[in-house]
Structure 1
Amino acid sequence: MKKENRKAAQERRAKEREHEAKIAHRKKVWSYAGPMLIIVVIVVLIIASVMDSKRISSESASSAASTSSASTSASASLQTDTSLTIEDGDTVNIDYVGSIDGVEFQGGNTEGNGADLVIGSHSYIDDFEEQLIGHHPGDSVDVTVTFPEDYGKDELNGKEALFKVTVNGIYK
């Protein structure tokens, strides 16, 4: 074989070895990266699934709450008959404006939008609901309560408040 042919053959084999080395390197990288990539994709899918189920759960809870309140008003209509009397367990619709020392405070006003309240549910400050018992739709009631010391708002903690309440009606 001539020197020129031998040199060309050596260069060709060197290129083939370089190409085979690149392929071997890629295989080695993918032997590690491939499974890692699959794991990352699976983790992302799991996270997306969990986030989606939380969103769906939150939406269904919100939907259930609105369905519940809608069913209260759908299955029972708001009665404004002044001969009706609020009793424990009744669902009422009220408007109120709360004040401390004659000054209204933030969050203490329904702004005329009305609020549904189940008497006896204890969802309002202690003694608020009980002071509505015996009143009638159309009544204006002064409800005096004392916020708990640990209510969570410095301007309200331990303060006595007056709520001017209007009973809009009772669901029957």
Structure 2
Amino acid sequence: MLDRVIFFTLLPYFYDILDIIKYDCSRKSAKEILFMNKENRKAAKERRAKEREHEAKVAHYKKIWNWAGPALIIVVIVGLIIASVLDSKRLSVKSASEDTSTASSAASASSASTSASASLQTDTSLTIEDGDTVNIDYVGSIDGVEFQGGNTKGNGADLVIGSHTYIDDFEEQLIGHHPGDSVDVTVTFPEDYGKDELNGKEALFKVTVNGIYK
């Protein structure tokens, strides 16, 4: 009963209420449309901001390249020049090393040729001189103890006097001696000879002069 009373009481105002509701709805729709437009504008602003940021970065990198580009090119050119000079020096050193090796090989070949073309003379009247090629045997010892590699074991060894093939003044101490002589040669190994048991040590070589190539 009460609901009917309320209904008939509000009935004259029904259309007014409907207009109010329609007005509110239309206003809400307008707000939504306005809100969407703001979102679009915001997105456009963000997109434009990103574009400006990208353009600023490109301009910044261009400025850096304009400043550093020429310097970088100069550095590269200087580096290439230095590398070329170093390569040239290495080639020169290599060439000098090869020349030294060739000269050493030539000297060895000359010694071998001398030994092959000349015969070993055992005449005791002959005297060893600088430049002579001799054949010797020796036994080396340090403090009375023989060391490895210091003994020809009777096989004989050819030696050019003055070639400095042997350490210290080994060769010079043979000058003036004769075939058949036994000579005590005292020498000192270099500190950097390469063997701990020999580095810097004084050694005695008992040398037998087998002959001189003539």
TM-score, normalising length from structure 1?
0.61
Moved more, 22-31 or 79-88: 22-31
Distance change (3 Å), C-alpha of 1:41 and 1:149:
closer
Moved more, 27-36 or 43-52: 27-36
Distance in 2 (CA, whole Å) between partners of 1:38 and 1:112 is 70
- The Cα shift of 1:74 comes to 2.4
Distance in 1 (CA, whole Å) between partners of 2:119 and 2:62 is 72
Distance in 1 (CA, whole Å) between partners of 2:53 and 2:139 is 83
- The Cα shift of 1:20 comes to 50
* 8 Å Cα contact 2:133/2:161 also seen in 1: yes
Q: Percent identity, aligned pairs only?
A: 90
- The Cα shift of 1:75 comes to 1.4
Moved more, 154-163 or 9-18: 9-18
Matched residue SS, 2:147: strand
- The Cα shift of 1:64 comes to 7.4
Matched residue SS, 2:208: strand
Query: Larger % of helix: which?
Result: 2
Moved more, 4-13 or 104-113: 4-13
Distance in 2 (CA, whole Å) between partners of 1:152 and 1:26 is 59
- The Cα shift of 1:72 comes to 1.7
Distance change (3 Å), C-alpha of 1:156 and 1:15:
closer
Moved more, 143-152 or 38-47: 38-47
Query: Larger % of strand: which?
Result: 1
Distance in 2 (CA, whole Å) between partners of 1:162 and 1:155 is 14
Distance change (3 Å), C-alpha of 1:64 and 1:133:
closer
Specify every segment of 5 or more residues in structure 2 that has no aligned partner in the other structure, as ranges: 1-35, 93-99
The higher-RCO structure (CA 8 Å, 6+ apart) is: 1
Specify every segment of 5 or more residues in structure 1 that has no aligned partner in the other structure, as ranges: none
* 8 Å Cα contact 2:111/2:133 also seen in 1: no
Distance in 1 (CA, whole Å) between partners of 2:82 and 2:158 is 38
Matched residue SS, 1:13: helix
- The Cα shift of 1:117 comes to 0.4
- The Cα shift of 1:14 comes to 55
Distance change (3 Å), C-alpha of 1:37 and 1:110:
farther
Distance change (3 Å), C-alpha of 1:22 and 1:45:
same
Aligned-CA RMSD value: 6.1
* 8 Å Cα contact 2:120/2:213 also seen in 1: yes
Distance in 2 (CA, whole Å) between partners of 1:39 and 1:64 is 47
> Is 2:135 the counterpart of 1:93?
yes
Matched residue SS, 1:4: helix
Distance change (3 Å), C-alpha of 1:28 and 1:55:
same
TM-score, normalising length from structure 2?
0.50
Matched residue SS, 1:9: helix
Deviation readout 1:51-101 (Å, 9 max, x if unpaired): 999999999999978864542222111100000000000000000000000
Name 1:62's counterpart in structure 2. 104
Distance change (3 Å), C-alpha of 1:29 and 1:85:
farther
Matched residue SS, 2:81: helix
